[in-house]
Amino acid sequence: MLETIIEKTNTIDKEPHSPEVNLIKRIELDCLSEVVLEGETTYLGEVRNFKKNQILKHNIPQDISISWSALQSGEKLNEHYHPCESFLIITEGEGESTGDSEVKIKAGDIVFIPKWNLHGFLGTGTNGFKALSIQFQETAIFESEEKTETTYFQRESIPLKDRELQVFSRDELPTLSQALMDGNIHQLGTLKNFSSIKLLEEFFPKNFSCAWVKLENGESLAPHTHFEDSMIIVTEGRGSFQGNNEFDIVTGDILFVPEGSIHGFSSPIDNYFWALSIQFNKTSLYQNEPRVKFLTPFEELLRRNDVFSQDLVNKSKTFKTLITSLEDKNVLLDSLQVISDHFQRLMFLRVGLCDSSKFQNVFLEHFHEELGHNDELRKERTHRSKIWDPVLEASCAWFVNKNYLLDNSERIIMVQMVLEKCAHLFYSHFSETLLENKKSEHIETHKEADEGHDLMGVDLLKHEPKFKYQEFYKLQKESWSIMKLFIDRVGELIEKQNLS
């Protein structure tokens, strides 16, 4: 059943802030494969307790325990019982339960295990099965040999019908695919709330909710925030994360999403992923009224710009290049002369082509603050001959020529958000790394003078219609790609100088 959830009112009015999302790989968690019970060694297969990771231990509520577990095909976890309810979420493969209830289990099944139920498991099929084991108590079952939280005490006082194991297929859960918020429909992919099963809704404590989520064939969940902690556990497939940075996610990844963190997800065109979305709240994020704030197109433009800029700093070798000689410094300044001359042409053209008074004020102010900076650099270089390099020339000319084809909003994106943002990063870096006897007056001046240039006029983009933003994103990506081409070439020329 496909449903759309409608938000009555949006109660989130906090300003977005974005702490880092923490990625924990399954393999990073310590593995427990056997435990001694009543003097006998019990084989467990694979048990990896989430709270062995300090981030998860600190943030998962004290009375909730979560572990990865796995049994290869033919491996068996012997029958046992314990004095607390628990449930198992089968994430991969297939198996069978043994004991009081003998049932087949497969990927997507939710297995509810009442207290005192005698149960064991057997891995079947080609690869057995993997699962998440969740208990609502401080210590996980089989957490350690010292405190296993399992028992073989008398249990006959509990009738069999009250301790039967119950299995709920993922297909049984209704599907939520959209959320209507602030008049906008947001696509969620596939979302299946566990609480749609009455038994689980009654069983879950007030600080736990869980849902299956799936994205496939290029679907995406747009970047958003919520003002409560959340956890995403990738159980099958692969996808991508978008937030302060962007990276791939694969089966077994655990993402702890702190309150207020910007995050979104997407799937490849030819692939998919299933994940579990866990909140430490009685209801999930899209149950009843959504507790989510999606980024506006403008906020998404800013987020992408931060990602592009950090990606450039982290990946370009130029930001790791050391200036160790006067010759290195000369190559650096000679390269800057190329872009500085082109930038002056761009400033003149942008003012001349502008047909809007509100943008003209921004362009003129920026023009006056930049006027003549290329001549000052030329004087510092003691009028050395201008270098000609095809990559430097082509990348700089791209910005000048592109200016003829853009509207005023797009010129803000190309000049302020990309060129000026990059200039601030570049000059700040080399101001800090150049030795005292190799300091550059041009770089030191621009480190201060360029402060805030990357924000000039950017607020005007808030008023642009939504349909334009896909073109904005495209231009932004292209501009950062050309900027990276220039920056990388500067580093290559300095390295070439070092080798000569």
Ordered DSSP codes for 333-363: HHHHHHHHHHHHHHHHHHHHH---HHHHHHH
Is the confidence at residue 3, as pLDDT, over 50?
no
Is the confidence at residue 13, as pLDDT, over 60?
no
Domain check: are 248 and 379 in the same one?
A: no
| Whole-angstrom distance, CA of residue 1 vs CA of residue 8 | 22
Domain check: are 454 and 478 in the same one?
A: yes
Is the confidence at residue 385, as pLDDT, over 90?
no
Q: Which DSSP symbol is given to 450?
A: T
Pairing of strands 40-49, 76-80: unpaired
Is the confidence at residue 8, as pLDDT, over 50?
no
Provide the pLDDT confidence category of residue 157 given band limits of 50, 70 and 90.
low
Domain check: are 109 and 207 in the same one?
A: no
pTM over 0.85: no
Q: Of the candidates 25, 500, 499, which has an alpha carbon nearest to the alpha carbon of residue 254? A: 25
- Give how many domains the chain has, as a whole number: 3
Domain check: are 491 and 364 in the same one?
A: yes
For tokens 């089968």, name the residue. Answer: 90
Is the confidence at residue 2, as pLDDT, over 70?
no
Is the confidence at residue 147, as pLDDT, over 60?
no
Provide the pLDDT confidence category of residue 493 given band limits of 50, 70 and 90.
very high
Give the pLDDT of residue 82.
79
Domain check: are 383 and 279 in the same one?
A: no
Domain check: are 358 and 426 in the same one?
A: yes
| Distances, alpha carbon 38 to alpha carbons 116, 151, 269, in Å | 18, 9, 52
Domain boundary, last residue among 248, 279, 294? 294
Domain check: are 239 and 372 in the same one?
A: no
Domain boundary, last residue among 136, 152, 170? 170
Q: Of the candidates 263, 260, 183, 178, which has an alpha carbon nearest to the alpha carbon of residue 224? A: 263
Is the confidence at residue 41, as pLDDT, over 90?
no
Domain with residue 494: its CATH number is: 1.20.910.10
Domain with residue 260: its CATH number is: 2.60.120.10
Q: Which residues pair with 123 in a beta bridge?
A: 95
Q: Which residue has the higher pLDDT, 131 or 140?
A: 131
Is the confidence at residue 11, as pLDDT, over 50?
no
C-beta separation of 380 from 340 below 8 A: no
CA 496, 482, 363: angle at the middle one, nearest 5?
Answer: 120
Window from 30-44, 114-128, 349-363 with minimum mean pLDDT: 30-44
| Whole-angstrom distance, CA of residue 93 vs CA of residue 108 | 9
**Interacting residues of 192 by C-beta distance below 8 A, sequence separation 6+:** 170, 173, 174, 175, 176, 211, 212, 213
Window from 131-140, 238-247, 451-460 with minimum mean pLDDT: 131-140
Is the confidence at residue 7, as pLDDT, over 90?
no
Give the pLDDT of residue 140.
58
Structure tokens at 475: 């231009």
CA 382, 387, 389: angle at the middle one, nearest 5?
Answer: 160
Is the confidence at residue 206, as pLDDT, over 70?
yes
Domain check: are 289 and 351 in the same one?
A: no
DSSP string, 104-138: EEETT-EEEE-TT--EEEEEEEEEEEEEEEEESSS
Residue 172 has φ and ψ, to the nearest 5°, of -70, -25
Is the confidence at residue 283, as pLDDT, over 60?
yes
Domain check: are 237 and 314 in the same one?
A: no
Residue 475 has φ and ψ, to the nearest 5°, of -60, -45
Is the confidence at residue 158, as pLDDT, over 80?
no
Q: Which DSSP symbol is given to 86?
A: E
Domain check: are 350 and 492 in the same one?
A: yes
Domain boundary, last residue among 136, 170, 204? 170
Domain check: are 397 and 329 in the same one?
A: yes
Mean pLDDT of 70-94: 90
Q: Of the candidates 230, 32, 232, 22, which has an alpha carbon nearest to the alpha carbon of residue 139? A: 32
Give the pLDDT of residue 19.
84
What range defines the domain where residue 191 resides?
2-18+171-294
Domain check: are 239 and 303 in the same one?
A: no
